Structure 1
Amino acid sequence: MSKPPPKPMKPGQVKVFRALYTFEPRTPDELYFDEGDILYISDMSDTNWWKGTCKGKTGLIPSNYGNLSWLRECLENRVGVNGLDKAGSTALYWACHGGHKDVVEVLLTQPNIELNQQNKLGDTPLHAAAWKGYADIVEMLLLKGARTDLRNNEKKLALDMATNAQCASLLKKRLAQGVVRTSSNAEDYLDDEDSD
């Protein structure tokens, strides 16, 4: 007899993973997927079996078939952390957008991680975390030095996109501290007497 279905996550809280391995189900409630398939996880309340969807089918997925170990393997093999997808987004952007705190933590340990890369919409990882309401990730980005003064293509700051009070409070506090950089600090290095 299979156990009762786990409680679903709040609506809109779907996490996205890439399957590390092919999984052959052993029971009818388990979901088949191939290595590299995208898994949309809607319920992570059971630490061993998640409820999710792949290729339009829903079922149970073993929790150890997802992103974090794949990320570590990529980093160990020196895969660049700042590569852009077709939308101009980095892995850090998507980790922040998806609320994958564990992945964000690993990426932020990389010495050359680009915190402020803007995608084709002008959004940064901070924009994504604020919009999705992940205050813990917003705080991590701010502690690492993410810029709060960058505007997206709609002229919005991350603060303008914050969807909850906690994210807004963190961003307002940082803006009030005056941690705002200009787009270029080249003028600091120019000496009018030496320029032609």
Structure 2
Amino acid sequence: MTEHRAPQLPPRPAPKPGRIKVFRAISDFENEEISFVEGDFIYVSETQPVSDRFIVKCNGRSGHVDKSQINNDSVVPVENALHEAARRGNLPFLDDCLQNEVSVNSLDKSGSTPLYWAAHGGHTAIVEYLLSKPNISISSQNKMGDTPLHAASWKGHLECAKLLVEAGANVHTKNVEKQTPYDIATTAEVKALLLTTMRNVAAYEENEYASSEEED
């Protein structure tokens, strides 16, 4: 008699990490696992085991804190922390956020990424640092259809625009007004950079097309 075995089910996929919420301490706290003082930044994952305690991270350490102690008397939320760090050019805070697993491609209410605000502010060191991250979305569009390259072009930040172009930013992306970064560039230097890049892209695509024709 042939033995029939129940089919094996594939393993469940690992749960995706939850969004990280950032808080700033407004009073000192200490227990047997972790401590923080006024002004410290605290990182709490939205995905937590069902219990009455949070696992929090602060200053490179992690520990459990009663949920009742993460309240308005001890901490205040920092909305869009990574965006604010990028907007202000605060590299140490931005690095701290990323080290604590805040998403590098998180979106604010305008649909913009931290890279967008770094390019908008002309913070070259921040743009370069964000572009070094393996999962960075270089040409993400916000609700107005603008990309980080649109922002750098509009604000006239040549070095930021160079970094984005060298990283592979799409120079042909159009926003909701049907404008490319070149269309809204405000300085001759940025316009020249984008025009040269567009010509290089066109030449490359023409060569690729010619090569495929020869192969056929």
Quickly name the TM-score band, shorter chain normalised.
0.5 to 0.7
| Residue identity in the other structure for 2:170 | R
Q: Which of 164, 174, 180 is the matching residue for 1:151?
A: 174
Deviations 1:119-162 (A, max 9, x none): 00000000000000001110000000000110001000000011
Shift in Å at residue 108 of structure 1? 0.7
Distance in 2, Cα, partners of 1:72 & 1:129: 22
Q: Which runs of 5+ in 2 are unaligned?
A: 1-23, 27-37, 41-87, 206-216
Number of residue pairs the alignment of both structures matches:
124
How far is 1:180 from its partner?
Answer: 9.6
Deviations 1:79-126, CA, capped at 9 Å, x for gaps: 110000000000000000011111111101100000011000000000
Match for residue 87 of structure 1?
Answer: 110
Distance 1:86 1:175, change over 3 A: same
Q: Any idea what the Cα deviations from partners look like across 1:35-74, whole Å, max 9, x if unmatched?
A: 59xxxxxxxxxxxxxxxxxxxxxxxxxxxx9711000101
User: 2: distance between equivalents of 1:180 and 1:67?
Assistant: 39
1:68 aligns with 2:91: yes
Contact 2:112/2:141 (<8 A) preserved: yes
Larger radius of gyration: 2
Alignment of 1:19-34 (within 5 A): none
TM-score normalised by structure 1 residue count: 0.58
Equivalent positions of 1:134-145 (< 5 A) are 134-145=157-168
Partner of 1:45: none
Which amino acid in the other structure matches residue 152 of structure 1? N
| Separation in 2, partners of 1:100, 1:117 | 18
1:97 aligns with 2:120: yes
Q: State the distance in 1 between where 2:139 and 2:153 align.
A: 14
The 3 A distance-change label for structure 1 pair 129 and 181 is farther
Give the counterpart letter for 1:147 in structure 2.
N
Residue in 2 that maps onto 1:109:
132
Q: Structure 1 residues 153, 71: CA separation in 2 closer, same or farther (over 3 Å shift)?
A: same
Mapped to 1, the partners of 2:159 and 2:166 lie a distance apart of 11
SS of structure 2 residue aligned to 1:138: helix
Q: Which runs of 5+ in 1 are unaligned?
A: 1-19, 23-33, 37-64, 183-196
Q: Percent identity?
A: 46
**AA of the residue aligned to 2:151:** A
**Contact 2:89/2:118 (8 A) holds in 1:** no
Structure 2: distance between partners of 1:165 and 1:83: 32
SS, match of residue 164 in structure 2 = helix
Measured in 2, the distance between the counterparts of 1:70 and 1:180 equals 42
Q: Structure 2 length normalisation: TM-score?
A: 0.53
